Amino acid sequence: MSTSVSICLNPECLKPENPDGTKFCLSCGTNLASQLRERYRVISLLGSGGFGRTFLAEDTGMPSARRCVIKQLKPIGNNSQIYQLVQERFQREAAVLEELGEESSSIPSLYDYFTNAGQFYLVQQWIDGETLTQKVKKQGNLSEADCWNILMNILEVLDYVHSKGIIHRDIKPDNIILCRKDSKPVLIDFGAVKETMGTMVTSQGVPTSSIVIGTPGYMASEQAVGKAVRSSDLYSLGLTVIYALTGKIPQELPLDDDTGDYIWHQYAQNVSSNLTAILDKAIQLYPRDRYSKAKDMLNELQSGKSTPPVNVPLKTSRGNYTQLRDLLAAKKWQEADRETAQVMLKVAGVESRGFLNRSDCENFPGDDLSIINQLWLEYSNGRFGLSVQKQIWIDKCGGKRDYETDCKLGDRVGWRSGGSWKSYNQLDFSLNAPPGHLPLAGFGVAGGLNGWFGVGSLLWRQELPKN
């Protein structure tokens, strides 16, 4: 593969990119070797910072000439004693990165490490994708479902990493890459190697680090004074997810004058109360008030307290379904059914009447109907929902829009018993109920199901797929 530039590897060079074919750097005069270590051909400069630079390269030692990322790291100290200490630490940290990459697909694999001309190099797997920062800037704030998936994946990684006694120390949107093929998040740029580059020796001859690893805003207060703990990573991850939900970096969020807590809820109004509470706990000022372990935070996400959100819009011009989503996520089936009734009556403009008739069903807005169905379907794992009722109505009851068919459906889904309609309080508001038992969709909540008819007028709607 041809390249349009030649890259200068002199870490002091201010303009490392040169026209292709240039033999000596036009900025600093350094000889531009065609390959690094007679194997890696640098394609482009990906980034630079206080600890060195990052390049995209091709591995010509492999048949595929696979792409890889090369990190060029420069020690802060410049005497032989410090260099020897850095070299020893560098080898240890490289071994750790190798182990992490082998055990987790959410951490880049380490291909190689070496020194060259006084510089330290890591060669790692290139992740084809975009950073979380790039994603948000390109498409706007992420949905709660997308953020939930990022949280789950990264917490699993941190649970593993922390079990090895390692703290990442620089979790931020720039250090999470979303793979192009499957959107799976990958955590990059662990802080330990950077800290190694800051090795110094005290006047007593004791090795120490002269730098604090982390990014202002995303870095917890204890980490800022060199005392990072496991919950420091969870603090950074919480603020990273808040950025994905709101598009605001920590410096753009106001602080509570009394508590010092970040004020962010108003910038993410469609986020469930479950996820909001989890993120609030993760970003508490003091470690004792946060989750102490990634596993604890992960367990709360996986528990009934925080069911994976459904990636559907929660507002239309007529209805707001945030409360319905929260009740369904909490498995509060009766409360969710009542909320369904209330919001449907409001959307149909018949709150004062208290029930839906055949005309209301035939003219009920399709996008609102679809949202209600999707929420019930997803949060009950396919047991409840209007489309479940529709399948039974068609396959088992004949699919006719008449009272006799309504009665057959009522018998099938548990709304009737012994030839009579049940009262509302006799229904089963649990997952033990027959398939299609819920929701009541605005019928009968006020006065029971006696005399209810016309459900077929709702279920025949094209917006409801046959499940």
Alpha helices in 140-260 (DSSP H): 144-163, 191-197, 221-224, 230-246
Question: Which residues does the annotation mark as catalytic?
Answer: 170
| Cα angle: 376, vertex 377, 383; to 5 degrees | 105
* Bridge-based pairing state of the strands 416-417 and 420-421: antiparallel
Contact at 8 Å (CB) between 45 and 16? yes
Closest residue by Cα to residue 426 from 446, 443, 448, 453: 448
**Distance separating the N- and C-terminal Cα atoms of the chain:** 50
Q: Is 112 helix (H, G, I), strand (E, B) or coil?
A: strand
Peptide bond into 465 cis (omega under 30): no
Distance (Å, whole) CA 27 – CA 7? 11
Distance (Å, whole) CA 169 – CA 191? 6
Instruction: Map 176-200 to HEC letters.
Output: EEEECCCCCEEECCCHHHHHHHCEE
- Give CA separation, 10 vs 7, 28, 98, 130, 280, in Å: 9, 8, 26, 27, 45
Distance (Å, whole) CA 421 – CA 400? 19
CB neighbourhood size of 299 (10 A): 15
Closest residue by Cα to residue 18 from 9, 72, 86, 362: 9
Distance (Å, whole) CA 243 – CA 270? 14
Distance (Å, whole) CA 171 – CA 188? 8
